[in-house]
Structure 1
Amino acid sequence: MRIPPFVPYLTGVCLAATALVALELHEDEQPTTAGRPAPQASRTPGAPSTAGTTSSAPSSTAAPDRFRTDADLPAGPPVPLRGAGTWRVVPGGFGDTGTPYAVEVEDGVVPPRGDGPFAAVVDHALAHPRGWRAVGHAFRRVDASGAPELRIRLASQETARALCGFELPYDTSCRIGPIVYLSAARWLRGAHAFAGNLRGYRTYAVNHEVGHFLGRGHETCPADGALAPVMMQQTFSTANDDLAAITVGTDQGVPIAADGRTCVPNPWPAP
Structure 2
Amino acid sequence: MRPWPLLPYLTGLCLAAATVVVLDAGAASRATTVEWPRGGVVPKPTRPAPSARIDSLRTTDADLPGGPPFPQQGADTFRVVPGSPGPPGPASGVAYSVEVEDGVRLPQGDDSFAAVVDLALLHPRGWRAHGYAFRRVDHGEPALRIRLASQGTARARCGFELPYDTSCRTGSVVYVSAARWFRGAHAFGRDLRGYRFYAVNHEVGHFLGRGHEVCPVDGGPAPLMMQQTLSTANDELAEIVNGTDQGVHVVPDGKACTANPWP
Give the corresponding residue for 1:244. 238
Does 2:113 correspond to 1:118?
A: yes
Give the corresponding residue for 1:234. 228
Q: Which runs of 4+ in 1 moved over 2 A?
A: none
Structure 2 counterpart of 1:96, from 77, 89, 109: 89
Letter in 1 for 2:247: G
Runs of 5+ in structure 1 lacking a partner?
1-38, 41-64
1:1-271 equivalences under 5 Å are 68-94=59-85, 95-97=88-90, 98-145=93-140, 147-269=141-263
Partners of 1:112 and 1:157 in 2: CA distance: 17
Give the corresponding residue for 1:9. none
Three-state SS of the structure 2 residue aligned to 1:79 is coil
Q: Percent identity?
A: 70
What value does the CA root-mean-square deviation take over the aligned residues? 1.2
Bigger radius of gyration among the two: 2
Cα deviation digits, residues 121-177 of structure 1 (max 9, x gap): 0000000011000001110100023x3100000000000001111121100000000
Structure with more relative contact order (C-alpha pairs < 8 Å, separation 6 or more): 1
Letter in 1 for 2:257: C
Three-state SS of the structure 1 residue aligned to 2:260 is coil
Letter in 2 for 1:84: A
Partners of 1:213 and 1:167 in 2: CA distance: 21
Cα deviation digits, residues 106-133 of structure 1 (max 9, x gap): 0000123110111010000000011000
Partners of 2:198 and 2:59 in 1: CA distance: 23
Partners of 1:196 and 1:164 in 2: CA distance: 25
Partners of 1:203 and 1:261 in 2: CA distance: 24
Give the corresponding residue for 2:13. none
Q: Is the 8 A contact 2:89 2:133 kept in 1?
A: no
Q: Is the 8 A contact 1:112 1:118 kept in 2?
A: no
Three-state SS of the structure 1 residue aligned to 2:79 is strand
Partners of 1:258 and 1:194 in 2: CA distance: 21
Give the corresponding residue for 1:34. none
Cα deviation digits, residues 200-231 of structure 1 (max 9, x gap): 00000000000000000000000101100000
Shift of 1:79: 1.1
Partners of 1:91 and 1:229 in 2: CA distance: 32
